[in-house]
Chain A
Amino acid sequence: MSSLYERIGGQAAVDAAVDIFYRKVLADDRINEFFDGVDMDQQINKQKGFLTMVFGGPNEYTGKDMREGHKHLVERGLNDSHVDAVIENLGATLQELGVAAEDIQAIADIANSVRDDVLNR
């Protein structure tokens, strides 16, 4: 059986998803304040890294990276509801791209698996 990453289309799927996902995040008033003043080119590369990871692709993200990368946001009030919103946007993106429901669930599970690291707890 092929891996999740291969099944949804690998790097090409990441490239197809990243603009849609980032646009949804920036349009979402529940979370977009965390992205104010952030360099968009740097951010889109981080988004690609995130998508590669949750799609089950090759990455070397560690719990430590996740903690360090979000620490300043947790101090600004980042909590479970914001992580929920991100995962919701992720799901909507994948739905738009025609990814199968069970794969979307698998991807949401991977995203959920880093929740505690992101929220530094």
Chain B
Amino acid sequence: MSHIIFGEKRIELDEGQTVLSALLEQGYDIANSCRAGVCQSCLMKAVEGEIPVEAQTGLKDTLKSQGYFMACSCKPDTPLHIATDANEGLQSSAKVIEHTLFNKDILCIRLKPEENFEYNAGQFISVWKGAKVGRSYSLASVSELDDYLELHIRRIPDGVVSNWLHDEVKVGDTLQIRAASGNCFYTPGMPEQKILLAGTGTGLAPLIGIARDALKQDHTGEIHLVHGTRHVDDLYLHQTLLDMTRQNNKFNYLASVLQGDENQPAVSSVPIEKQLIDVAGDLKDCKIFLCGDPDMVNNLKRKLFMAGASMNNIHTDPFIASNA
């Protein structure tokens, strides 16, 4: 006999009973489908306690390491404390310590959180303008290397938050932010694995974070980063990435542009997927991160899968625009 704590409530489990069955019995409306540990409809997040191995079989590493498990396959031997809303983070304050433009559209903001702020490089946080309007931005910083959070903000025409951040927010202001989430981040455990990072626009932010995090964690396999933009002038942090390539023999940076002068180091008009496939060797064994424009992300995901990548190794973060 064990028990779970769901939010505040203690619920006893019968011998061999699953967390899902106990919660349904108590009248909670928990999403579920196959009840066989396959479809992952009943994903929940444990905040404390030991998760049985079977409850995480088949989950991506990034979900596992965050404490996600499948309620239908979870028969805990010891008490398990479960979050009632895994997506709900607490709002916290952070001071703007840097506010500079990378190029005409993209702003770099660095924030100093007022209290300890846990995240994995590559995850995203939300920034709030008032109580009602929040937007998600990916983290380009690495918690073990940087004492600030770095966000890359593209100005969206009529964008409520992006224009506010560009035009009104200044160094010294305090912003409200919410906890990091998302499963595009580096997980240790396979240091020799080749890593492919690709993104468009500010999809570069999480990719830089993941690359720096991997290098910091002594990743020994090759890390290839491809940044795609429409025009060569839309590239940013180009020199920083060239410097990173020079300083780390495991790291390699390539830019894929549709228009503009290609006579620059690392810049070419070769499409992103072609560049990735060229450097991949056997795609099956590569860990792949795709961030940025949703059409690009889904397109690349399909192309790389068809070219041999394993679905389990593809992590994506499509930047879905807000309708508001």
Contact = CB atoms under 8 A, between A and B. Distances in A.
Interface of A: 11, 15, 18-19, 22-23, 26-27, 40-41, 44-46, 48-49, 52, 58-61
Interface in B305-319: 305-306, 310-312
Contact of B311 (A19, A52, A60): A19
Contact of A59 (B38, B57, B58): B38
Q: Can you list the 6 inter-chain pairs with the closest CB atoms, starting with the nearest?
A: A49-B38, A44-B311, A59-B36, A45-B39, A48-B38, A60-B35
8 contacts: A19-B312, A22-B305, A22-B311, A23-B305, A26-B306, A41-B311, A48-B39, A61-B34
A100 B298 CA distance: 36
Interface string B17-60: 00000000000000000111011100000000000000001100
A22 B312 CA distance: 13
A26 B40 CA distance: 22
A44 B305 CA distance: 11
A49 B305 contact: no
Nearest to A46: B39
How many residues of B sit at the interface, in one of the four size bands?
A: 10 to 19
Nearest to A39: B298
B287 interface: no
Given A26-B302, A27-B306, A45-B38, 8 more contacts: A15-B58, A15-B312, A19-B310, A23-B306, A26-B305, A41-B311, A52-B36, A61-B34
A22 B302 CA distance: 11
B81 interface: no
Interface string B260-276: 00000000000000000
Nearest to B298: A40
Contacts of B306: 23, 26-27
Contacts of A49: 34, 36, 38-39
The B interface, classified by DSSP as helix, strand, loop or mixed, is loop
Nearest to B315: A41
A47 to B, nearest CB: 9
User: What is the predominant secondary structure among interface residues of chain A facing chain B?
Assistant: helix
B247 to A, nearest CB: 35
A63 B151 CA distance: 49
B301 interface: yes
Interface in B6-21: none
A59 B34 contact: yes
Contacts of B34: 49, 59-61
Given A19-B311, A40-B311, A41-B311, A60 B36 contact: yes
B296 to A, nearest CB: 14
Contacts of A41: 311
Nearest to B36: A59
A45 B57 contact: no
A18 B305 CA distance: 12
A11 B57 contact: yes
Nearest to A57: B36
Nearest to A41: B311
For B39, B58, B298, B311, the residue with the greatest tally of chain A CB atoms inside 10 Å of its CB is B311
A51 to B, nearest CB: 9
A18 B38 CA distance: 12
